[in-house]
Amino acid sequence: MLPWIFIVSVIIGMSSGSTASNRTGRLFSLFNVVTFENGQCQSNLASSRPDTLRVGTCLTSNECTSKIGTAAGTCAAGFGVCCVFISMGTTEVSQNCSYVQNPGFPNNYQGLGLRYTVRKCDSSVCSIRLDFEYFWIRGTTDEATCVDLFAVLTSSQIANSLPILCGVNTGYHMYADVGGLGENAATLNFAFASEIAGNTRQWDIKVTQIPCGSNAAPPNGCLQYLTGFMGRIRTFNYDAAAGTHLPNQRYSACIRQERNMCCIRYQVCGVTPGTQGNALVYSLNIVIAMNALVDNNCSNDYIVIPDSSNRCQPGGGNGPLVNRYCGSVFNPRNGELAHAIVCDCTPPFRVDVVTDVSLDPSNAIRSRGFCLEYMQIPC
């Protein structure tokens, strides 16, 4: 949240004598100055995600108009307007908390792609956060390679290792480092293999700019940053009906350690620990085996939960500490046939995702990826 203050109201008052004979009474000016911070605000515009409203920036009415925003509700006790910026027809973004949409959204986009340039709204910005309010482009082929592509390119070398995305990624988010120089920028690049009439290609992405050193910024090396006592971590394209996890993924999903919490408990989404569940709920590198695989048995597609075990207490559980997980069963014991709870009591907490270049075409069951529910456990 950028600490910019604006004067929004000036009231000039005049006082004179109460009688006609007192015409030489003093005149004076009384200035009532109202200031407010240009922080985020909740507008009254519906988002493309169900039951949510769009986020705007609290500005004066005149400033919102001059910046070509949409006033959608009030803020700052009614002295400001919640100004929402939606870039549908333009390809350059320079306002904080802007939405980037395909032309004609929510209708389908049928062109060969688009490129958006995100310029800093202030020289103090060092990173951006992308929230995929709606993201649906063509996904993977039978060999698990992307047909359509979405890539984020920045002036910072650190962020140029960001994964390339495709498929269905509504509800996901990612961070990108744009560097500390004022002229640094980021490019959001959609590249499509062909124009296909009627094909589902739609996107609505919220772009939030984050100042250097802000508490809202993730730790170094974290593509995703999750806060709160519980939540979900999914591989990209997990929600596609017949999709696979994406190739060439190397990133970390980090979890902020909340106060008085010492461990993170993970389990497969929607599956009761101790049962096998659907084979497609959790599947990484299942060409090798249809059971749990850990550590040295995982070499192509796997996730890393450093120094994890089967007990949620500092020091680990009954067996050795485990790092890598793959196969079709989520369990810290190699060869097991039922999903289990996995705990990490060694902060900082993160889940590292590693996928190979492509899928072995001889594999009859394609690897979907994973969805893990996490919960923080008190000390």
Q: Give the pLDDT confidence of 301-327 residue by residue, as tens digits.
A: 899 999 999 888 765 555 689 999 998
Dist. CA 280–CA 342, nearest whole Å: 19
CB 250, CB 162: distance < 8 Å: no
Q: For 88-217, CATH number? A: 2.60.120.290
Total-model pTM:
0.85
Helix (H, G, I), strand (E, B) or coil at 78: helix
E-only strand ranges, 25-155: 35-37, 40-46, 53-59, 70-75, 80-87, 92-93, 98-101, 113-119, 125-136, 149-154
How far CA 136 is from CA of 30, 121, 171, in Å, comes to: 56, 28, 11
pLDDT given at position 8:
40
Query: Is the confidence at residue 329, as pLDDT, over 70?
Result: yes
* 242 burial via Cβ count (<10 Å: 0-12, 13-18, 19+): exposed
| pLDDT single digits (tens) 152-166 | 998 775 555 789 999
Question: Mean per-residue pLDDT for 210-230?
Answer: 93
Q: Is 273 exposed, middle or buried (0-12, 13-18, 19+ CB in 10 A)?
A: middle
Name the token pair of 218.
Answer: 């993730």
Do 46 and 99 meet the contact criterion of CB atoms below 8 Å apart? no
Q: Are 148 and 193 in contact (CB under 8 A)?
A: yes
DSSP state of 297: G
29-77 per-position pLDDT tens digit: 444 555 667 888 999 999 988 888 999 999 999 999 999 999 999 999 8
Amino acid, single-letter form, for residue 60: T
- C-beta neighbour count of 107 within 10 angstroms: 10
In this structure, whether the domain defined by 225-378 belongs to CATH 2.60.120.290 is answered with yes
**What are the extents of the domains in the chain?**
88-217, 225-378
Strand 224-226 to 250-255 pairing: parallel
* Residue 227 binned pLDDT confidence (cut-offs 50, 70, 90): very high
Judge contact between 120 and 209, C-beta under 8 A: yes
Q: How confident is the model at residue 282 (pLDDT cuts 50, 70, 90)?
A: confident
Structure tokens at 301: 């597609």
**What pLDDT is stored for residue 110 in this prediction?**
85
Matching fold, domains 88-217 and 225-378? yes
Q: How many residues comprise the chain?
A: 379
